Structure 1
């Protein structure tokens, strides 16, 4: 009986242990944000909801619509209701009395002709359009800034990886020289040169790590949260080129679609309407007045039977002289119109300049990328050959160090040119009036979560 109990107890303990083991195995491993990746489109969607600049632009456009509605209200009927009561005590040689007087009135006024009010509405109508265009311009500018910070973060992390990789490569060369030095096959100067380079790269790594953290914080400022995920990088299999459109086509589209240009065009329209409204101060106004009144108050606050009065009339108001203020205001508004026209001309010229500069620079970057890839391949072969030659004593460590530097300089040049190309594409799209979402989507297609360190030929340690 005792043996059976022991066997049953042992079986129970084994079953319990197996169940605990299964539970432990089924428990998912903890993950952090750094195990995931994010791309430019995801950050753009978050920025649309969190970036203060974008949120302010939405509010600005809405405010413009409300100001337009406010100006239109001056053209619609104005209806007011008035009510009053008085306690009156009256004394004379015949009587002494106290009584209450009451009066109620309903007044409707409608302008039949008021040039100043009409032009004021036209001004705010143009200002509402200007606010919408300025909001679009702010959103396009915010998108370019997001892309710039995204690529800056990538470049900072690339620099950290390159410094680490160069330090490892140089350390391997130092290890070889140390081994050769022990055999009296290398000079002490070679050993010291490589050691100095390794120490310098270690110091540069500290600075590069700091810059990578700062660049991440710059992204967090826009999206409103810490960005811990890995950032998608440029795909290796993509041919980076600007679209086949000619420069003239890009400029023509920019002149037709650029939101900053449209905002200034609306600003000129608003200034013209304001000038016409100022001149309207010299024009007469014509209005229709309807009123209904009920009162028991007569002449000299006397008490009378309750009376209802209904009045319909047309009134004309003709301005004659206001001390010259109306004419001065018109002259000032004329100068405001000239300012708006010159600002429009300035933005027209800037659109042409920015599109031309971004287009030519992006095309130059595209051609330079191919040359940089060839230069990197040659630098890699040169470094490998120098390392082999060092092992045979055909070159010294300084020669190897020079080839390593050349290789990593070529890597940096390639990455820098790629990021400059993408930044210029964003700038080109912005000034050409392309929707920000369309620009992000097109560039985001060149990014891939699987090409972090491979593009540089080094293993990512960030």
Structure 2
């Protein structure tokens, strides 16, 4: 009797066929934390976010400067010639004056509110940078597990191709001995061709996944460590949607940043309204120069002439009361009010979005827990269904189409199982990001379940399922 096709046989065939391709030394395999660290050091988007933060926080010293003393110094050098009509004569004088001016704001309400707004913007920028840094944790995980997902998908398509190839060989053998007609051979050939096309597409998806990792880290990778099937599939802690929503409302970084955006808009509105308020500055100046420079030696000068250098000191207060500026101040206040309304509405929209995402992700993780178990059981059921269909085909109660469909369903179940595993991992991280609790420690926790010698062609299937299939085959042989 021809040996029946099973997932275990296909896995063995695919692993053997690709053994030479998996010769990279374990030392070059990259783990999840290494990918994140490379991304943190080399990611262009994060570098741009850091530069943006550094630029925006400069608004604080710039605004503070408007409340601090302003000191300036300068010099003037003049050469003046004067022609007189009666009597006809020409006079000339020249001189140099050195001067220093000091101004200290005493009451500048608009500048004080400007400083408050700048400080709020700086806090907003710091939180947005933290949100970008936190998002990089998730991006690193998504890029990393996209590779593992693509590799497992490729491994399953290789196993499927091997299974369809064996089915084609079996169909040819049965045709040669007269147990089936040419239709079975053609159906098996079509199934094999389709599986081969899927394997080629899956290979490109693996390469694309590695390319995305290069974009993220600016470094090329040959292979990465895989995740073990022993990773615990657990419900969220706490397993309460309201608790997660409350945590997100208090700790979500983007939501916190939006609070400071509102604060900045409020202070800006106060600044614009303060444009109607009077200002008071203390001023002082000092000048020193010769007579000519001060104009004191002019014969027409009615005051006392001085025969040496002259110095002049001035100390006083300057009061400015705005009366009318063409409606500019009122217009700026109205604009600031609308900007405040805009920032408040954006914050409310973001709050609703955070609540929605948190609830959705909470449900997604709980669904993923059940889905992983169901998908795993589906593999077992489809294995049994395939073996039963193969028996029916050999005794003539099933046709080749039934066998091919059963094989497709089995490998689809395998891919769905691996997709559910990776969805569970990433949705867990997304839930923590929405709640504002995601940290590199979460990647370290996942790193404990990475397998340095992971071989997708061998390990895409849970070990116990593969061994169970092999045991059944050995018992039947």
TM above 0.5, yes or no, is: yes
Aligned to 1:63: 55
Aligned to 1:381: 384
- Evaluate the alpha carbon distance shift between residue 410 and residue 232 of structure 1 in structure 2; reply closer, same or farther with a 3 A threshold: same
In 2, distance between residues paired with 1:146 and 1:348?
A: 26
Residue 459 of structure 2 aligns to a residue in which SS?
Answer: coil
Residue 38 of structure 1 aligns to a residue in which SS?
Answer: coil
Post-superposition shift, 1:174? 2.0
Q: What is the root-mean-square deviation of aligned Cα atoms in Å?
A: 2.3
1:353 matches 2:383: no
Matches within 5 A, 1:41-52: 41-52=33-44
In 2, distance between residues paired with 1:301 and 1:364?
A: 96
In 1, distance between residues paired with 2:187 and 2:35?
A: 44
In 2, distance between residues paired with 1:55 and 1:444?
A: 26
1:148 pairs with 142, 150, 166, which one?
A: 142
1:398 matches 2:391: no
1:37 pairs with 15, 29, 32, which one?
A: 29
Matches within 5 A, 1:204-353: 204-229=198-223, 231-245=224-238, 246-296=240-290, 297-299=293-295, 302=298, 304=306, 305-353=308-356
Residue 240 of structure 1 aligns to a residue in which SS?
Answer: coil
Matches within 5 A, 1:13-162: 36-92=28-84, 93=87, 96-162=90-156
In structure 1, stretches of 5+ residues that fail to align are: 1-30
Equivalent pair of 2:226/2:451 in contact (CA under 8 Å):
yes
In 1, distance between residues paired with 2:242 and 2:194?
A: 49
In 1, distance between residues paired with 2:42 and 2:427?
A: 25
1:455 matches 2:460: yes
Post-superposition shift, 1:170? 1.6
Aligned to 1:367: 370
In structure 2, stretches of 5+ residues that fail to align are: 1-22, 299-304, 467-477
In 1, distance between residues paired with 2:171 and 2:270?
A: 85
Tell me the TM-score normalized by structure 2.
0.84
Post-superposition shift, 1:115? 0.5
What do residues 73-126 of structure 1 show as CA deviations (whole Å, max 9, x unaligned)? 111110000111112234544865544211111111110110011111111111
Equivalent pair of 1:160/1:208 in contact (CA under 8 Å):
yes
What do residues 313-371 of structure 1 show as CA deviations (whole Å, max 9, x unaligned)? 12211111111111111111111111111111111111100110011111101111011
Equivalent pair of 1:242/1:425 in contact (CA under 8 Å):
no
Post-superposition shift, 1:382? 2.7
Equivalent pair of 1:40/1:444 in contact (CA under 8 Å):
yes
In 2, distance between residues paired with 1:42 and 1:208?
A: 26
Residue 232 of structure 2 aligns to a residue in which SS?
Answer: coil
Tell me the TM-score normalized by structure 1.
0.87
In 1, distance between residues paired with 2:408 and 2:120?
A: 59
Post-superposition shift, 1:293? 1.3
What do residues 404-440 of structure 1 show as CA deviations (whole Å, max 9, x unaligned)? 1121111011011111112211211111112442333
1:197 matches 2:227: no
What do residues 285-314 of structure 1 show as CA deviations (whole Å, max 9, x unaligned)? 111112221122234784853111222212
In 2, distance between residues paired with 1:172 and 1:61?
A: 60
Aligned to 1:9: none
In 2, distance between residues paired with 1:265 and 1:403?
A: 56
Equivalent pair of 1:286/1:315 in contact (CA under 8 Å):
yes
Equivalent pair of 1:383/1:407 in contact (CA under 8 Å):
yes
Equivalent pair of 1:289/1:313 in contact (CA under 8 Å):
yes
In 1, distance between residues paired with 2:275 and 2:150?
A: 61
Equivalent pair of 1:88/1:101 in contact (CA under 8 Å):
no
Residue 85 of structure 1 aligns to a residue in which SS?
Answer: strand
What do residues 117-176 of structure 1 show as CA deviations (whole Å, max 9, x unaligned)? 111111111111111111122223333333223222222222221111111112112222
In 2, distance between residues paired with 1:71 and 1:454?
A: 60
Residue 325 of structure 2 aligns to a residue in which SS?
Answer: coil
In 1, distance between residues paired with 2:26 and 2:396?
A: 45
User: How many correspondences in the alignment?
Assistant: 428
Residue 309 of structure 2 aligns to a residue in which SS?
Answer: strand
